[in-house]
Structure 1
Amino acid sequence: MDDLTRNYAGAFDGHLPFGRSPALLVIDLVLAYTQPGSPLYAGPGVADVVACNERLVAAARAAGVPVIFTNVEYAPGGADGGVFFRKVPALRLFERGSALGAFPPSLSPQADEVTITKQYASAFFGTPLAAMLTARGIDTLLITGVSTSGCVRASALDACQHGFLPFVVREGCGDRHPAPHEANLFDLQAKYAEVIGEAEALAHIGAPPGTSGA
């Protein structure tokens, strides 16, 4: 056991059960993060993240598990972006009409799937997400997307704070550098969420409705 794990043991080593009614929440997997040359490009490893999400989305659709996408969009000049837009100049890529704000063809929402458009990091902040999940009886979120240290972390934290069970899929998340990626996955697992692998996520998605998926 390394020093970091030993330090957390006994205080931050609890676990959450998987719930009875999950949804897959895909955070901001748009061209701004997946296209080389974009200021927000998440690096060559994002191709593996996209591939993982393609498999998860296909499995969820086949199993009848709801798939919810998020994207980011601002009014011209970022009038609705507040301090966040001022702090991160690259967010101008998400001004309304920007081509980089679009979903890649392989991960585009279907007509009957929900897209939550947000202006801040969390998929919950200033959006109807919590009310929508509650109305649909969803108690668990499988969370993927980009970036691990930003919008994924903020959304997982808010899921916990709103009473939804957050399960972050390790291979389904990405960041522009492995250090913040791993640090945030460690902290999420320790304090706010369960961090699971793709195989476990697929097993949960494939579990019969009304079961724990365990």
Structure 2
Amino acid sequence: MSVAGPGPHGTAFSGRLGWGARPAVVVVDLCRAYTEPGGPFALPDPGPAVEAAGALVDAARAGGHPVVWTAVRYARGLADGGLFVRKVPALAAFAEDAPGEWGELTLEPGPGEPVVVKQYASAFFGTTLAPTLTGLGVDTVVVAGVSTSGCVRATAMDALNSGFRPQVVRQACADRSPALHENNLADLDAKYADVVDLAEALPHLQRPG
């Protein structure tokens, strides 16, 4: 279900991209920094998004569709962090010499499921994600993870830019406030992706590819 109708601009926005023949689930940065109390990006209520992301992953595995994970990693001293780590200092938690294990993924990748390491918001920027998906024959990217206004949004936009059909699952994403979550879903649905409910996404993934 779309989160945004045509609105005051009529049919100028919110066209439907639809589902292709070969979806893949991309779980964006779902790690302890967001889902554990005391984490540098701790969310107010991560449980529902974690559960929904897990349901997407299970459905994709059952249907034989790819699952790809992303994780943020920086070298010691943040030498590869560029200006992003200056703008968001808490990203230092993902440096290899940082204390704690905040970058550890909340859900466990399965055997053979790629973990794409990134340094910036989009899972496509400067990574192997696009050629990995292309090599797997993927045409539809089902996006889950955190945060809706940041890395999920950037990844969905670059999925569209890279020629994939982005489907952002509203229950499988989360942000630091409900308003940020809902406002960014509405704007993504208007211009860059189809925002869909978990109940719509699961049958597409459970169907064998």
Q: 1:167-186 maps to which residues of 2 (within 5 A)?
A: 167-186=167-186
For residues 89-100 of structure 1, the aligned pairs below 5 Å read 89-96=89-96, 98-100=100-102
Q: Partner amino acid for 2:105?
A: F
> Which stretch shifts more, 13-22 or 120-129?
13-22
* Residue of structure 2 equivalent to 1:51: 51
What is the rounded CA distance, in whole Å, between the counterparts of 1:62 and 1:169 in structure 2?
A: 18
SS of the equivalent of 1:125 reads: coil
The amino acid that maps onto 1:189 is D
Which ranges in structure 2 are unaligned for 5 or more consecutive residues?
none
Query: C-alpha separation between the residues in 1 aligned to 2:206 and 2:130?
Result: 24
Listed as ranges, the matches of 1:73-92 within 5 Å are 73-92=73-92
1:166 counterpart SS class: strand
Aligned to 2:104: 102
Deviation of 1:108 after TM superposition, in Å, equals 1.2
- Deviation, structure 1 residue 26: 0.3
Deviations 1:36-88 (A, max 9, x none): 111200112x1111111111111111111111000100011211010101110
Amino acid at match of 1:139: D
Structure 2 residue 197 is the aligned partner of structure 1 residue 194: no
CA distance in structure 1 between the partners assigned to 2:54 and 2:188 by the alignment: 23
Structure with more helix by fraction = 1
Taking the TM superposition and a 5 Å limit, the aligned residue runs for 1:1-214 are 6-44=7-45, 46-96=46-96, 98-104=100-106, 107-209=107-209
Higher RCO, 1 or 2 (CA under 8 Å, sep at least 6)? 2
* Aligned counterparts of 1:13 and 1:51: Cα–Cα separation in 2: 28
> Please, what TM-score do these two structures have when normalized by structure 2?
0.94
- Per the TM alignment, residue 208 of structure 1 is displaced from its structure 2 partner at its CA by 3.5
List alignment gaps of at least 5 residues for structure 1. Answer: 210-214
Q: 4+ runs of 1 displaced by more than 3 Å?
A: none
TM-score by length of 1: 0.91
Q: Percent identity between the aligned chains?
A: 52
Say what the alpha-carbon RMSD is for the aligned residues: 1.3
